[in-house]
Amino acid sequence: MLIPHPLLGPRDAQEFTYLGDASLLNRPDGLADTAPEAFNDYVYLRDNPAGLHRELWFHEQGDRSWLIVTRNTVTHEILGAELARDVALAAMGGAQ
Amino acid sequence: MRFSGFRVVKEALTGHHGWKPLWRTPAPQASYDYIIVGGGGHGLATAYHLAKVFKGKRIAVLEKGWLGSGNIGRNTTIIRSNYLLPGNEPFYEFSMKLWENMEQEFNFNAMVSQRGILNLIHTDAQRDAYRRRGNAMLLAGADAELLDRDGVRAMYPWLNYDNARFPIKGGLLQRRAGTARHDGVAWGYARGADLLGVDIIQNCEVTGFRIENGRVQGVDTSRGYIGAKKVGVAVAGSSGRVMAMAGMRLPIESHVLQAFVSEGLKPVVDGVITFGAGHFYVSQSDKGGLVFGGDIDGYNSYAQRGNLPVIEEVAEGGLALMPAIGRARLLRAWGGIMDMSMDGSPIIDRTPVDGLYLNAGWCYGGFKATPASGYAFAHLLATDTPHPTAAAYRLDRFNRGYVIDEKGMGAQPNLH
Ligand SMILES: Cc1cc2nc3c(=O)[nH]c(=O)nc-3n(C[C@H](O)[C@H](O)[C@H](O)COP(=O)(O)OP(=O)(O)OC[C@H]3O[C@@H](n4cnc5c(N)ncnc54)[C@H](O)[C@@H]3O)c2cc1C
């Protein structure tokens, strides 16, 4: 699998380590009343879809950036990659 | 039809005209007392034990494809009970004892072969860990022996003992472990269940659950609606997909694991060897092929095939351990989709939907569990209480903080 790194171009997936579903970026509020349940869902439960999956890959043997890769779990086709930092900042309403 | 030595000789002399299909091909009835979703090893073993031990009636197994098309026909056939943790070891030892009597019980040759499994040791720390594991096994009534370097050398003199990174310093041996013919296990349970009146319905995919007032009423399938009092789901790598139809998210990711077979060789590996540090394990089939594998590919997948880098990695691990096989050619490679759970251990439990039960999360180690998983799931379906050896496999254990994490990896399924 080749991952289209937004800064470095196509890189072999072997250079990356895999973490999992990109929903891991959305860490719940630890001070909310519902924190225990929210953290159970966050840490343990997954959508685990057959089809498109947005997932976190770390370019460990490259520029050490975290990417969000969109990949089809049925065909292994990779449809795109973004810097996780950009996505997280945008979600917080910060710098694009 | 009973199998016996006499029967084999008689059929050989009369042109093999007397063999009959091993199970019927019934059309689905309008409703059943029990529906088992998934005709893999676990689903078939569940139906068999439900009918035989718990005297259940009106049972059906619904299988999307053909029997044996899932992981039961794709695994590397290793059976063992060499676990550490109290939630696991009694269960796997119960399974090992069921393997030891399985063939007599269901009158079918599953080629269970107790050829022993050897886990290699390379460091003092690993020896301590394996000594502890061996003691845990002995406490649960299993067998375990700690071998030193010479003990391993006496069994496998041709391994590479002086690898610079992973010199072999000893091993943990379980002699009662071994292999079994995976298809034979599925066929044996299917035939046994069929003889007890279970309807095995192939090419019947479950496409939805009918749930009313929090209770399951039946399942929609590619062959129409089928009513049921109780539904047990045992669909291995598809658990996430299937339970989503009942509105549930699971502590599971689906991953692909690959396995490999070499061309046929003269007998060389007469047991099972695991080289955990090198992510490699091997046994030799009765046809002579080396059957080997390593780790999962490591990313979510439903593709039933893996990628080339893992093939290279596994081959490198094999060569580091057994330079002698360098010239052997790879014959086949394939993949299977497994439920990787958040603590690496399985789930056999009720669900929040009344009458709907779940058997899932077997990771890369569910073949050895087949008989006990079927027994324990049947126990749960029939009595609504967990089998004593499977009482720790609760669905809510993650929430309660009672994970069973053999590898100590935390909630990262691709590392278990
Ligand atoms: C390469 C590989 C090597 C392995 N090696 C070992 C080993 O050496 N030792 C060991 O102990 N374990 C091993 N395993 C793990 C073991 O094979 C599995 O844990 C075990 O087989 C899973 O249980 P099963 O037999 O019931 O699964 P399966 O045979 O996969 O059964 C599940 C069935 O459910 C069906 N299904 C799915 N969705 C639906 C639906 N909607 N409706 C109806 N039916 C459906 C599928 O078609 C399938 O037949 C290995 C796995 C793989 C992939």
pLDDT digits (tens, 9 = 90+) for B233-278: 999 999 999 999 999 999 999 999 999 999 999 999 999 999 999 9
- Region B46-71: mean pLDDT is 96
On whether the B110-181+253-341 domain is CATH 3.30.9.10, my answer is yes
Question: Closest approach of chain B CAs to the CA of A95, in angstroms?
Answer: 30
Positive or negative: CA dihedral B311, B312, B313, B316: positive
Nearest protein Cα to ligand 1, atom 20: B366
- Who's near A69: CB < 8 A, 6+ residues apart? A3, A54, A55, A56, A57, A78, A80, A81
What does the alpha-carbon distance between residue B360 and residue B236 come to, in Å, rounded to a whole number? Answer: 6
Domain extents for chain B? 19-78+184-251+348-415, 110-181+253-341
Contact state of A55 with B303 under an 8 Å Cβ cutoff:
no
Query: Which residue type does A41 have?
Result: D
pLDDT, position A93: 84
Section B275-304 average pLDDT? 96
Q: What angle do CA B144, B149, B150 make, to 5 degrees?
A: 95
Specify whether the CB–CB gap between B251 and B403 falls below 8 A: no
pLDDT number for residue B282: 98
Across the interface, do B413 and A20 touch by the CB < 8 Å criterion?
yes
Give the SS3 label for residue B332.
strand
Q: Give the pLDDT of residue A96.
A: 55
Alpha-carbon span B181 to B5, nearest angstrom: 19
Determine the average pLDDT of the residues in B298-305: 96
Interface list for chain B against chain A, based on CB atoms closer than 8 Å: 240-241, 244, 249-254, 298-303, 307, 309, 342, 398-399, 411-414
Band (B1; pLDDT cuts 50, 70, 90): confident
Q: Which helix (H) or strand (E) holds B361?
A: none
- Mutation choice for A interface testing from B302, B358, B402 by most A CBs within 10 A: B302
Contacts of B86 (CB under 8 A, 6+ apart): B136, B392
Residue A94 is predicted with a pLDDT of: 74
Determine the 3-state secondary structure of B73 from DSSP.
helix
Q: Which of A3, A18, A46 to mutate to test the interface with B (most CBs of B within 10 A)?
A: A46
The ipTM assigned to this model is: 0.95
- DSSP classification of residue B396: T
For A24, the token pair is 């891991």
Q: Which superfamily, per CATH, for A2-27+40-91?
A: Folate-binding superfamily (3.30.2270.10)
Mean pLDDT of chain B: 97
Residue A76, Cα to own-chain centre: how many angstroms?
A: 16
Q: Give one word for B248, left, alpha or beta, with left for phi > 0 and alpha for psi -120 to 50.
A: beta
pLDDT at A35 over 60: yes
What is the C-alpha separation between B404 and B6, in angstroms, rounded? 48
> Which amino acid type is present at position B277?
A
Please give the Cα distance from B159 to B152 (Å, whole number).
9
Q: How far is CA B1 from CA A23, B15, B19, B21, B233, in A?
A: 55, 17, 8, 10, 30
Amino acid at B237: G
Residue carrying the six token digits 């840490």: A43
For the stretch B334-365, pLDDT in tens is: 999 999 999 999 999 999 999 999 999 999 99
Phi, psi of A42 (to 5 degrees): -65, -45
∠ CA B96-B239-B388, nearest 5°, is: 35
Which of helix, strand or coil describes residue B297? strand
B19-78+184-251+348-415 with B110-181+253-341: one CATH topology?
no
Question: What is the percent of chain B with per-residue pLDDT over 70, rounded to a whole number?
Answer: 100
Contact B299, B255 (CB under 8 A): yes
Q: How far is CA B348 from the centre of its chain?
A: 14
Task: Taking residues B403-414, report their average pLDDT.
Answer: 95
B246 contact partners, CB below 8 Å, separation of at least 6: B209, B211, B216, B351, B353, B356
- Chain A segment 4-33 residues within 8 A of B by beta carbon are 12-14, 18-21
Query: What is the arithmetic mean of pLDDT over A61-87?
Result: 97
- Model pLDDT for residues B130-167, shown as the tens digit of each residue: 999 999 999 999 999 999 999 999 999 999 999 999 99
**For residues B334 and B67, what is the distance between their CA atoms, to the nearest angstrom?**
18
Instruction: Say if residue B411's pLDDT is above 80.
Output: yes
Up-side HSE of residue B382: CA atoms within 13 Å toward CB? 21
Let me know if B362 is exposed, middle or buried by CB neighbors in 10 A (0-12, 13-18, 19+).
buried
User: What CA–CA distance (Å, rounded) separates B191 from B289?
Assistant: 28
Nearest CA-CA partner of A4 in A91, A83, A88: A83
A45 touches chain B (CB under 8 A): yes
- Residue in this structure with the two tokens 């449809």, named with its chain if needed: A79
Coil vs helix vs strand at A79: strand
What confidence tier does A61 reach under pLDDT thresholds 50, 70, 90?
Answer: very high
Question: What's the farthest any 2 CA atoms get from each other in chain B?
Answer: 65
Which positions in chain B touch A38 (Cβ < 8 Å)?
A: none
Query: CA-nearest residue of chain B to A69?
Result: B299
Paired tokens of B228? 């049921």
What burial class does residue A93 get, using C-beta atoms within 10 Å of its C-beta: 0-12 exposed, 13-18 middle, 19+ buried? exposed
CATH number of B19-78+184-251+348-415: 3.50.50.60
Q: Does the beta-carbon distance from B301 to A43 stay under 8 Å? A: no
Total H helices, total E strands in chain A: 2, 6
Overall average pLDDT of the A7-27 stretch: 97
**Residue for token pair 């502590």:** B251
Whether A50 and B414 lie within 8 Å, measured CB to CB: no
Query: Does A95 have pLDDT greater than 70?
Result: no
Separation CA B267–CA B286 (nearest Å): 9
B178-179 and B78-79 as β-strands: parallel, antiparallel, unpaired?
antiparallel
Number of CB atoms found within 10 A of residue A27's CB: 12
